[in-house]
Structure 1
Amino acid sequence: MTIHRALITTLAAVTMTSTAPDAAAQQPAGDARAAGTFEWHTWSGDAGSRRYRLFVPAGHDAARAAPLVVMLHGCTQDPDDFARGTRFNALAGEAGVLVAWPEQPAAMQVQKCWSWFDPAHQAASRGEPAVIAGITREVMAGHAIDPRRVYIVGVSAGAAMAVNVAASYPDLFAAIGSHSGIPYRAASDVPHALAVMRGGSPDPAILAYALQDALGGRAMPLIAIHGGADAVVSPMNSRQLAGQWAGVLGVSSSPVQRSTEGGLGVERTRWSGADGKPAIELVIVDGLGHAWSGGSPEGTYTDARGPDASRLILDFLLAHSR
């Protein structure tokens, strides 16, 4: 617990663009009111037991397989908070997508952080990746889900864990979305994790080897979004994450494109696959801190400015299938 407190003390010491939750925000409002159901479930298996929220859009046809997105919250958040801040359920409802929101409770980690930096949670068949994969499979077994269109997304510690899960179960997920995340296996303990968060990996060239071994030749598309002014997790991490993925997929980048979206400058880089679709997309948002771009003030660690990260991520994911 001391190890995790050290990590969170560093996180808490940095001023973040965020909306502090008030009493009203503690209830599953906002995004939870999207057309459909948003209910708690509990998964249990060899790796333990964990609650999760499941959003099922109104009119979901049990005879027609739908996509599934798994959403992993960041430190101090929970599924309700993350759903409010991203408004992801509303977009998913429009697109006919189911969304699973696993919970990392305070009982497991005092600040609700996923243990992305711990080697015990960086591989298949154990730890938190096994829990999240178990939740994913339970939803797939209980609902009409297209197994070729299952995706995973996360923010901050949740983004780092989403990378761990996707790399651990490449046959389960078709694509991944990372917001304010970190490369796969960039750290193996807390001191290393803190150093990586501050400035990225000191030896990014070796990162692709770990990912190559994990993916085993699977070409899994990735979209990574990061605030250019993020003082909690350096944007260098998403640059290295995209580079790690590009090294494994063997794709080359197109020229950087710059635009202004939501009042902030945006730097966008794409790496295209053989089919012409972006295999990797990196979006750096100037002036954005450690916050979900284009998010809602009903959730924590959001910034209403910048491009709508939820829409960017969902559009990217749905353009790919396994």
Structure 2
Amino acid sequence: MNAASPAEMAEVTRLTRAGRLPEATALLQRLLRGEVAPRPREAAPRGSGAAPRAPRIIDVDPDTGAATAEPAAAAAAAGRAPADAGVAGAGSAGAGFPGAGWAGGRLANGGLAGGGMAGGGMAGGGLANGGLADAGLAQMARGLRERLGSLAPAGMAAGGPAGAAVPLPEGARFLSLNFGSEAGSRTYKLYIPAAHRDAAAPLLVMLHGCTQSPDDFAAGTRMNALAEEHGFLVAYPAQTASANAQRCWNWFSPGDQRRDGGEPALIAGITRQILRDHPVDPARVYVAGLSAGGAAAAIMGAAYPELYAAVGVHSGLPCGAARDMPSAFAAMRQGAGPGVEPRAGAAAARMVPAIVFHADRDTTVHPRNGDQVIAQAAAHPAADGLRVAVERGQVPGGHAFSRTRHLDAAGRAVLEQWLVHGGGHAWSGGSPAGSYTDPRGPDASREMLRFFLSHPMVPGAA
């Protein structure tokens, strides 16, 4: 048996965790036979008329939260070999599976050996005549799931179901809708609280993180419950696996960082469709997101300052933080490079108020990115003269935090930054009912909503 690459075994892990055991079996059998994915196709010469090679997909591993290259199966389907070099540098060694999980392209002691593959998984009945016995596969699946369940940082939910059902109060609606345009199409969920009538209400657009779904994100953030309390609508656009294998918003792609093109056009189109079809106050429309969704929210604020009154960025990156795969990995590991500026929007566009949450032990997206989101917003001329105030606090039984506010002459926070001490890559104060949440942190959902509702759009504001 040839040594499997980290990306190939990560795909086996992902398929098993998702309950797709036949596909996991088939992939393992190919690896055991020494079969490998096709070598990368060379880019077509300029002017040759050949179709260009599809771009690599950059994801966050759904099980570890670490940056990875695209899964092996997706790479094979596209005629590419897995990008092992990218995984080894950022997704596996040190930052991938804790405790020396993958090392040197093979399973190391403390990874999945001893409960994942060995000891009943593949050894001792798992391999039978070159194939996988059903009993061995079942044991391997159990071992994989047990191992994956231990990978979530302390205090975080290991991950709620991607299609988690969200209980509805009587009279509330959680609609499944679709938007289509020249830029493409996306489905989305729209939560309309039971108390909502015909009066124009605020609208919050929530952009999920990698591997998440609208239902999962709604459950983890508890934003629908807050909508019932305060009478606002919540929209959850859904990324597709065809656009990104891990359902990440493509924040690192130049085509998805600009106004009226790519994913920004789709998200703005969804927002405008809701404004057209439902009683929404156009002066109180907001956008927020987690991780890749947080980076996408930063892009939306830069690209559509006339549409979104304020933005919330949780564990995300500044607009324009990356333009390709190397710069994306670099930004996630250590922060965006110097001179990062918004890629869209007129130079005279209004300053969009922003609230940022990040944890200081986030090993997936470096917390320096949170600083850069604030610095990017504070570079606007309208931020001149803002006064900075810092305060510290502690969640009872949970994390300490620091809050930095940039105050205008009236004492109102135009920019607000929360740093959660001891937290990781997860929605602060979220519910274990959803994935990638940290219930021990300050309540990011409630704090973002407070900030948003204090910042309606002011016509003609700089």
The question of a shared fold, defined as TM-score above 0.5 by the shorter chain, is answered with yes
Deviation at 1:107, TM superposition (A): 2.4
Deviation at 1:300, TM superposition (A): 0.5
What residue in structure 1 maps to residue 275 of structure 2? 140
What residue in structure 2 maps to residue 53 of structure 1? 189
Mapped partners of 1:223, 1:212: distance in 2: 20
Deviation at 1:39, TM superposition (A): 1.5
Mapped partners of 1:221, 1:295: distance in 2: 23
* Aligned match for 1:177, one of 312, 326, 345: 312
Mapped partners of 1:59, 1:306: distance in 2: 29
* CA separation of 1:22 and 1:238: change in aligned 2, threshold 3 A: closer
1:138-217 to structure 2, matched below 5 A, reads 138-203=273-338, 206-207=339-340, 209-210=341-342, 214=346, 216-217=348-349
Deviation at 1:61, TM superposition (A): 1.6
* CA separation of 1:214 and 1:122: change in aligned 2, threshold 3 A: farther
Higher relative contact order, chain-length normalized (CA < 8 Å, sep 6+): 1
* CA separation of 1:50 and 1:268: change in aligned 2, threshold 3 A: same
* CA separation of 1:27 and 1:244: change in aligned 2, threshold 3 A: closer
Q: Give unpaired runs (5+ residues) of structure 1.
A: none
Given that 2:304 and 2:345 are in contact with CA atoms closer than 8 Å, whether structure 1 keeps it comes out as: no
Mapped partners of 1:313, 1:22: distance in 2: 22
Deviation at 1:33, TM superposition (A): 5.2
Deviation at 1:3, TM superposition (A): 3.2
1:107-126 to structure 2, matched below 5 A, reads 107-126=242-261
What residue in structure 2 maps to residue 261 of structure 1? 395
Deviation at 1:214, TM superposition (A): 4.5
Secondary structure at the aligned position of 1:131 is classed as: helix
Given that 2:387 and 2:408 are in contact with CA atoms closer than 8 Å, whether structure 1 keeps it comes out as: no
Mapped partners of 1:45, 1:78: distance in 2: 22
Given that 1:16 and 1:291 are in contact with CA atoms closer than 8 Å, whether structure 2 keeps it comes out as: no
Given that 1:168 and 1:215 are in contact with CA atoms closer than 8 Å, whether structure 2 keeps it comes out as: no
What residue in structure 2 maps to residue 19 of structure 1? 157
Secondary structure at the aligned position of 2:245 is classed as: coil
What residue in structure 2 maps to residue 222 of structure 1? 354
> What percentage of aligned pairs have identical amino acids?
45
Mapped partners of 1:117, 1:33: distance in 2: 38
Bigger shift: 266-275 or 180-189? 266-275
What residue in structure 2 maps to residue 4 of structure 1? 58
Given that 2:160 and 2:435 are in contact with CA atoms closer than 8 Å, whether structure 1 keeps it comes out as: no
Given that 2:259 and 2:344 are in contact with CA atoms closer than 8 Å, whether structure 1 keeps it comes out as: no
Mapped partners of 1:268, 1:212: distance in 2: 29
Mapped partners of 2:240, 2:197: distance in 1: 32
Q: Does 1:241 align with 2:382?
A: no
Mapped partners of 1:46, 1:158: distance in 2: 22
Secondary structure at the aligned position of 1:151 is classed as: strand
What residue in structure 1 maps to residue 103 of structure 2? none
Given that 1:254 and 1:271 are in contact with CA atoms closer than 8 Å, whether structure 2 keeps it comes out as: yes
Mapped partners of 1:11, 1:154: distance in 2: 22
Structure showing the higher strand proportion among its residues: 1
Given that 2:204 and 2:285 are in contact with CA atoms closer than 8 Å, whether structure 1 keeps it comes out as: yes
Mapped partners of 2:91, 2:169: distance in 1: 31
Mapped partners of 1:279, 1:129: distance in 2: 24
Q: Normalising to structure 2: TM-score of the pair?
A: 0.65
Mapped partners of 1:287, 1:90: distance in 2: 27
CA offsets, 1:220-264, max 9 Å, x none? 100000011100001110011111111114243423211112421
* CA separation of 1:60 and 1:33: change in aligned 2, threshold 3 A: closer
Given that 2:303 and 2:343 are in contact with CA atoms closer than 8 Å, whether structure 1 keeps it comes out as: no
Bigger shift: 213-222 or 300-309? 213-222
What residue in structure 1 maps to residue 17 of structure 2? none
* Aligned match for 2:174, one of 38, 45, 63: 38
Bigger shift: 308-317 or 271-280? 271-280
Deviation at 1:288, TM superposition (A): 0.5
* CA separation of 1:101 and 1:231: change in aligned 2, threshold 3 A: same
Given that 1:211 and 1:244 are in contact with CA atoms closer than 8 Å, whether structure 2 keeps it comes out as: no
* CA separation of 1:218 and 1:212: change in aligned 2, threshold 3 A: farther
Mapped partners of 2:242, 2:57: distance in 1: 15
* CA separation of 1:283 and 1:56: change in aligned 2, threshold 3 A: same
* CA separation of 1:264 and 1:21: change in aligned 2, threshold 3 A: closer
Secondary structure at the aligned position of 2:327 is classed as: helix
Q: Give unpaired runs (5+ residues) of structure 2.
A: 1-54, 60-67, 71-86, 98-150, 458-462
Secondary structure at the aligned position of 2:311 is classed as: strand
Bigger shift: 125-134 or 190-199? 190-199
Look at both structures and tell me which one has the larger radius of gyration over its CA atoms.
Answer: 2
Given that 1:28 and 1:80 are in contact with CA atoms closer than 8 Å, whether structure 2 keeps it comes out as: yes
What residue in structure 2 maps to residue 314 of structure 1? 449
Given that 2:426 and 2:436 are in contact with CA atoms closer than 8 Å, whether structure 1 keeps it comes out as: yes
Deviation at 1:109, TM superposition (A): 1.2
Bigger shift: 215-224 or 73-82? 215-224
* CA separation of 1:65 and 1:234: change in aligned 2, threshold 3 A: same
* CA separation of 1:16 and 1:168: change in aligned 2, threshold 3 A: farther
Mapped partners of 1:36, 1:128: distance in 2: 29
Number of residue-to-residue matches in the alignment: 316
Secondary structure at the aligned position of 2:57 is classed as: helix
Mapped partners of 2:281, 2:347: distance in 1: 21
Q: Normalising to structure 1: TM-score of the pair?
A: 0.92
Deviation at 1:34, TM superposition (A): 8.3
Secondary structure at the aligned position of 1:170 is classed as: coil
Mapped partners of 2:349, 2:288: distance in 1: 21
Mapped partners of 1:127, 1:102: distance in 2: 14
Give the letter for the 2:444 counterpart: A
CA offsets, 1:78-106, max 9 Å, x none? 10110010001100111000000000021
